[in-house]
């Protein structure tokens, strides 16, 4: 069983007495910085001189400094730049000021798990990974609630990494909802697997292929769009609220019967084997290697796929 900790298991005072640097001010960065500030913490925001996020940070009342300056000032450094840039930002701006006993935090395990960041052995390293985008993290905190998070200690030199990490999670509002202890590999591998197989890759391929099948059979694209794409939200809301059985209780008997007889025809043993293959690629680092190489080459494949995606009929129908 997972260990879930709440407010009562953490001590907010610990993080309040540290200088915290938030590097990056995007989806996660803005929510971490604002939630921590509202929790009474001392926060400095680090962004490059030419960062597009500087304006947003200024509007929120920050005076951003360069990432290297923020890292030098702080005892706790949360790295919230895109995963594919973390190795470079770490090496150039963070590593030089990682003096003994500092705590380096990340919000997703990718860069540590796949060797993009190799921290020195005289600092603490931990992860607090909120289970949702920054907008939701901020919104839930603002209304007195929070979203859950996964956390783990990667390296504990001071003997205080656990308490300080939980204190950070509390300042973020996550211990209000519950934080689940995990390992770096579990968080990284399950996160990549779920986004590739279900949340992003699986879902969009399912929607697009179903849309194409209906249009090819002569149905109106607008009708195909509505039933294959837009209605996903209605089902996702039910799944989020109460799980699969709850969703089944909320839809028609016809839809429920169709689910039982057709679902396994679409997602069959062949698909299961492909899922296992995907998981192996994630576990042995093949996916990460490809993604790192793709970035080193300037993202040619990603750009080409984005262009192709944007011109698909489902997009023009949706826009209309
Ligand atoms: P975003 O792309 O939303 O924001 C990245 C921020 O980093 C921007 O402010 C960007 O500035 C800045 N940045 C980009 N390059 C650099 C650089 N070289 N030096 C300093 N700052 C830079 O990222 P996310 O917030 O989505 O992701 C941050 C981390 O949080 C990742 O590890 C991600 O996996 C994790 N995470 C994300 C979740 C999500 O739902 N988004 C959920 C949980 C974890 P600019 O505006 O100039 O580009």
* Closest CA to ligand 1's atom 28: 80
What are 40's two structure tokens?
Answer: 């009474």
* Ligand 1 atom nearest to 81, measured from its CA: 7
The mean pLDDT of 156-163, rounded to a whole number, is: 98
Residues near ligand 1 with C-beta < 6 Å? 23-29, 47-48, 51-53, 67, 80-83, 85, 89, 107-108, 129-130, 133-134
Residues 320, 316: Cα–Cα separation, whole Å: 6
Residue whose CB lies within 8 A of the most ligand 1 atoms, among 48, 82, 127, for a mutation test? 82
* Ligand 1 atom nearest to 29, measured from its CA: 25
Look at residue 111 in the predicted model and tell me its pLDDT: 97
The mean pLDDT of 214-234, rounded to a whole number, is: 98
Look at residue 305 in the predicted model and tell me its pLDDT: 97
Residue whose CB lies within 8 A of the most ligand 1 atoms, among 35, 46, 51, 302, for a mutation test? 51
The domain limits of the chain are 4-182, 191-319
Percent of the chain residues past pLDDT 90, beyond the cut: 100
Residues 41, 35: Cα–Cα separation, whole Å: 9
- ipTM tops the 0.95 cut: yes
DSSP string, 214-262: HHHTT--HHHHHIIIIITHHHHHHHHHHHHHHHHHHHS-HHHHHHHHHH
Mean pLDDT of the chain: 98
Look at residue 219 in the predicted model and tell me its pLDDT: 98
Report CA(242)–ligand 1 centroid distance (Å).
31
Residue 136 clears pLDDT 90, i.e. is over it: yes
Residues with Cβ within 8 Å of residue 47, at least 6 apart in sequence: 23, 24, 25, 53, 54, 57, 64, 65, 66, 67
Report CA(108)–ligand 1 centroid distance (Å).
11
Q: 30, 32, 85, 108: which one is catalytic?
A: 108
Residue whose CB lies within 8 A of the most ligand 1 atoms, among 22, 24, 107, 133, for a mutation test? 24
Percent of the chain residues past pLDDT 70, beyond the cut: 100
Look at residue 1 in the predicted model and tell me its pLDDT: 86
Report CA(280)–ligand 1 centroid distance (Å).
27
Residues with Cβ within 8 Å of residue 89, at least 6 apart in sequence: 23, 67, 79, 81
Residues with Cβ within 8 Å of residue 269, at least 6 apart in sequence: none
Report CA(317)–ligand 1 centroid distance (Å).
31
Residues 295, 313: Cα–Cα separation, whole Å: 28
- What are the tens digits of pLDDT across the range 263-302? 999 999 999 999 999 999 999 999 999 999 999 999 999 9
pTM: 0.94
Report CA(312)–ligand 1 centroid distance (Å).
28
30 flagged as catalytic: no
Residue 97 annotated in ligand binding:
no
Residue 231 annotated in ligand binding:
yes
Q: Is the CATH number 3.40.50.720 carried by domain 4-182?
A: yes
- What are the tens digits of pLDDT across the range 80-121? 999 999 999 999 999 999 999 999 999 999 999 999 999 999
The mean pLDDT of 196-216, rounded to a whole number, is: 98
């Amino acid at each position: 069983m997972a260990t879930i900790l709440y407010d009562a298991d953490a001590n907010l005072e610990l993080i309040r007495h540290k200088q915290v640097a938030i590097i990056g001010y995007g989806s996660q960065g803005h929510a971490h910085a604002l939630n921590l500030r509202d929790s009474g913490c001392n926060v400095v925001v680090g962004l490059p001189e030419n960062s597009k996020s500087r304006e947003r940070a200024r509007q929120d009342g920050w005076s951003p400094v360069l990432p290297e300056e923020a890292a030098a000032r702080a005892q706790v450094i949360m790295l919230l730049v895109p995963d594919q840039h973390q190795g470079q930002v770490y090496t150039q701006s963070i590593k030089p000021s990682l003096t003994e006993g500092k705590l380096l935090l990340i919000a997703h395990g990718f860069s540590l798990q796949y060797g993009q960041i190799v921290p020195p052995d005289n600092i603490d390293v931990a992860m607090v990974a909120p289970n949702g985008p920054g907008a939701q993290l901020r919104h839930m905190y603002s209304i007195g609630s929070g979203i859950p998070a996964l956390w783990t200690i990667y390296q504990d030199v001071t003997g205080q990494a656990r308490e300080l990490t939980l204190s950070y999670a509390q300042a973020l509002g996550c211990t209000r909802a519950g934080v689940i202890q995990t390992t770096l590999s579990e968080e990284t591998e399950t996160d990549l697997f779920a986004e590739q197989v279900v949340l992003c890759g699986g879902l969009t391929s399912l929607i697009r292929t179903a849309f194409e099948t209906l249009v090819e059979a002569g149905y109106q694209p607008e009708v195909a769009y509505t039933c294959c794409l837009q209605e996903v939200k209605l089902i996702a809301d039910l799944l989020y609220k109460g799980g699969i059985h709850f969703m089944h209780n909320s839809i028609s008997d016809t839809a429920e019967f169709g689910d039982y007889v057709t679902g396994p025809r679409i997602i069959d043993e062949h698909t299961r084997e492909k899922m296992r293959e995907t998981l192996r690629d994630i576990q042995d680092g093949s996916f990460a290697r490809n993604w790192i190489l793709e970035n080193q080459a300037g993202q040619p494949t990603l750009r080409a796929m984005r262009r192709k995606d944007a011109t698909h009929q489902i997009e023009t129908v949706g826009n209309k």
